[in-house]
Amino acid sequence: MNCDNKIKYPNKKEADIAAVHNSNTTKQDLQVAYKCNKHQCWHTGHPKDYSDNPVARIYQILDGNKSSKNRKK
């Protein structure tokens, strides 16, 4: 994903606030905060459902593990 032009939030709390602000009431327009390992920040975007794509789901899990390891340091 190319997130170079996305707003970079310094922490999850600020990204969560922005995600709520940017979301509309419909589920289609829901936004969530996510950790960006490329920029070492947080972005907002639409949630991804990879349940029908096992390879993408594995990468999603691995990225989540990287984020949690970085938080423990």
Q: What domain range includes position 21?
A: 12-72
Write the burial class of residue 57 (CB in 10 Å: 0-12 exposed, 13-18 middle, 19+ buried): middle
Position 5 in a domain: no
Number of domains in the chain: 1
Position 2 scores a pLDDT of 80
Predicted local distance difference test score (pLDDT) of residue 69: 52
SS3 state at 12: helix
pTM over 0.75: no
| 6 within some domain | no
* Residue 59 in domain: yes
When comparing pLDDT for 27 and 21, which is higher?
Answer: 21
Separation of alpha carbons 65 and 73, rounded Å: 13
With respect to residue 43, please indicate whether it lies within any of the assigned structural domains.
Answer: yes
pLDDT digits (tens, 9 = 90+) for 44-68: 988 877 667 777 667 767 766 655 5
> Is the pLDDT reported for residue 26 higher than 90?
no
